[in-house]
Chain A
């Protein structure tokens, strides 16, 4: 059973489009993290959301934590080729940081 479900698994869009990726669970999390992994590199932490309903912005990226702290979304405005990568959400499961399977985003010029 995958505790953190991410959707879609793969997303291919044109530069300038907007997109949203989702991270869902039946469990309540004290916090959720979002990482981005570029090809050939390790994941890099983008943001941590802690409070239910919290919204955090990082330039063109907007992260939201669900009110019940069971889900989160990442919205990218006007995507650019530099946004290409694997987006991973992660949360504490049995005191271990556990990752979802990720959303692979490809932004074409």
Chain B
């Protein structure tokens, strides 16, 4: 059973469209994250939720809106997609929020290509 699963694996779309990426974890963890990995493989945190509450919101355009319906799910909705949004987006979870010392379990990523 996949511990952290995200869908879709690949997402190809036109500029200006709205799209969502879904993430679910079956580890019983309290904290979930969205990370963005650019073409140079740099992995940068976007958001973090602890028990459905937003705890980290890095400098991300407000076109990106995370939603956590329960602590096992963290979805990412992106409005008005731009070329620069093309990247691999990773969902992750941790047992709890460790102030940067948490051990992360990652999903396999969603490759977003904006044309």
| A contact set with B: CB distance below 8 Å | 30-31, 33, 35, 37, 40-45, 48, 86, 88, 91-99, 101-102, 104
Majority secondary structure, B binding face: loop
**Interfacial chain A residues near B102, Cβ < 8 Å:** 97
Interface size on B, residues (CB 8 A): 24
Measured CA separation A57–B40 after assembly (Å): 29
Chain B contact residues, CB within 8 Å of chain A: 4, 40-45, 48, 56, 58, 90, 92, 98-109
Which A-chain residue is minimally distant from B38 (CB atoms)?
A101
Q: Given the known A-B contacts A86-B41, A101-B41, are A40 and B109 also in contact in the complex, defined by CB atoms under 8 Å? A: yes
Contacts of A102 in B (CB 8 A): 41-43
Measured CB to CB, the closest approach of chain B to A40, in angstroms, equals 7
Q: A98-B45, A102-B41 are in contact. Are A48 and B103 (CB under 8 A)?
A: yes
Contact assessment for A104 and B41 in the assembled complex, using a CB-CB cutoff below 8 Å: yes
Task: Report whether A96 and B100 are in contact in the complex, using a CB–CB cutoff of 8 Å.
Answer: yes
Q: Which residues of B contact A37 (CB under 8 A)?
A: 41
Q: Which of B45, B90, B108 sits near A96, CB closer than 8 Å?
A: B45
**A49 vs chain B, min Cβ distance (A):** 11
> Is B104 touching A43 in the complex (CB atoms < 8 A)?
yes
